[in-house]
Amino acid sequence: MIPSRGLRVRLAAAGLGFALATAAGAETFSLFRDGAAPPDRFRLFPEPKEATGPAARDDAPPDLAAAADAPEDAPTAPAKRCVLIDCVRLPIVPAPKLFTTPVTIWTAGALLGGFVDGIEGPGHYGFNDFHFTDEGYFQTWTYGGGADKASHFVISATVAGLLFDAYSLRGLSPDQAFGLSLFTTAVAGVLVEIGDGLTPYGFSAQDLTADMLGATAEAVLKRTGTDDLVGFRIGKVPTTIPASVLGDRTGTLGLDYTNEIYTADLKLDGLGYRLSPHPGIERFFLVSFVFMTKGYGYAPPIPSRYQQIGFEVGLNFPAILRAVGVTNETWWGDILIRAFQFFRIPFTQIGGYYNLTNHKWYGPGAPYHYY
């Protein structure tokens, strides 16, 4: 993959359908489900049920159960749900078929994003003979040290999660949303790699494997209702490599990933609400495993380049947003929450980091320094 464009193009174009779906979409398409789901507090969309009176579901969380017996002037339940700017009024009823107009537009938008991402490489580097390349995964000899694969994983997970939510919003069952979001993300990844196969990069089976692993991980989290517990982010960590280290080296294709970091997060708000209906301040924090590389992507290779892992405790901005009343009932609320679910905000966490090359631990400033 050509790294400089994956984050920019694929995410933006994967969501291309949401604007068109809003215009195409009427409120006759819908959701959900035959089996029981986790309580509404943990999911983007509520579980549909037949209107049988004021009785609350057995699996409803305490606040929703109480609402069933609340007086008429009590606050009403959310009237709509949004995925980016595609908003649908509740209740959502099952879609009459798999490929309704909004679902088709979302799918076409994601596939168009993969095509545009793939064709940008040949457009930039020129069309070469199609070829495959063995990039490796996380070996120290790879051009990105594995950071490129972590990038593929996180971006594909985000795209699959967005599509799952969009398909659910537009009436597909959980199994349909799972299968179609996974399939669409995979095909978009293939289109990207076909384009890369016509550039100096080449078609990388390792990139595609990372795409599939990320998409599958997020789709499983969405399908099982555990995406409130675990998530994946990408962040910027501005780092200057000393001139004495760089010498007269030049950058190779793409970027060196020195300025990026990737996280797998345990969301304490999701954990807290599972343990108590009224979790404390811990819900505003994340515990994260992180991975980054420093000094990769130069020719000749920097001898002191390294891979680094670590653990962080940081602020959970989506939980903070929800606490002040931002929800996915509005398009701007959904966009804000998703943005903070995807981006790691610099200097809002503290952690320890282990250099896999020199086998030393470093403190909170490690992501922003070259050692």
Burial class (CB within 10 angstroms; exposed 0-12, middle 13-18, buried 19+) of 283: buried
For the chain, what is the radius of gyration of the CA atoms? 22
| pTM score | 0.82
Q: How many other C-beta atoms lie within 10 A of the C-beta of residue 83?
A: 28
Tens digits of residue pLDDT in 178-191: 999 999 999 999 99
Amino acid, single-letter form, for residue 124? H
* Kind plus residue range of the DSSP H or E element containing 185: helix 174-196
Q: Among 44-48, 88-92, 158-162, 269-273, where is mean pLDDT lowest? A: 44-48
CA–CA separation, 11 and 162 (whole Å): 9
Residue 254: the pLDDT is 66
pLDDT-based confidence at residue 108 (cuts at 50, 70, 90) = very high
CA–CA separation, 91 and 33 (whole Å): 12
The pLDDT of residue 252 is above 50: yes
CA–CA separation, 357 and 371 (whole Å): 11
Reported as half-sphere exposure (CB side, CA atoms, 13 A), residue 97 has a value of 5
Among candidate residues 117, 244, 103, the one with its CA nearest the CA of residue 164: 103
CA–CA separation, 237 and 222 (whole Å): 29
Amino acid, single-letter form, for residue 161? G
Residue 148: the pLDDT is 93
Task: Return the C-alpha torsion angle 15, 340, 255, 136, nearest 10.
Answer: -80
**Pairing assessment for the beta strands 230-236 and 86-89 based on DSSP bridges:** unpaired
* Tokens read off for 305: 């380049």
Tens digits of residue pLDDT in 129-141: 999 999 899 999 8
Averaged over 85-92, what is the pLDDT?
Answer: 93
* Tokens read off for 29: 């398409």
